[in-house]
């Protein structure tokens, strides 16, 4: 799909990208909340920034743990 086709699919059909199974739940939650069809339900930008900051902390922690496990084997 081109960017224009994707935009039209979202607007006309409510299509959303498939979230990969290995996506961190914190990122999946951010995406699905921002994709809500009702704009009143979507989080305001300030809340999105906080959500992303929290996600960054979780991601860095997860990556560090994964790297440590790799080094120990």
**45-60 per-position pLDDT tens digit:** 999 999 999 999 988 8
Give the CA-trace dihedral at 12, 1, 25, 64, to 10 degrees. Answer: -150
d(CA 36, CA 16): 10
**Binning pLDDT at 50, 70 and 90, where does residue 69 land?**
low
Cα separation of the two ends of the chain = 42
**7-46 per-position pLDDT tens digit:** 899 889 989 989 999 888 999 999 999 999 899 999 999 9
């Amino acid at each position: 799909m081109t960017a224009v086709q994707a935009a039209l699919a979202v607007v006309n059909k409510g299509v959303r990208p498939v979230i990969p199974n290995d996506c961190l739940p914190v990122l999946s939650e951010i995406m699905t909340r921002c994709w809500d069809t009702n704009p009143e339900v979507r989080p305001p930008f300030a809340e999105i920034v906080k959500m992303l900051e929290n996600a960054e902390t979780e991601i860095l922690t997860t990556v560090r743990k994964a790297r440590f496990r790799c080094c120990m084997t």
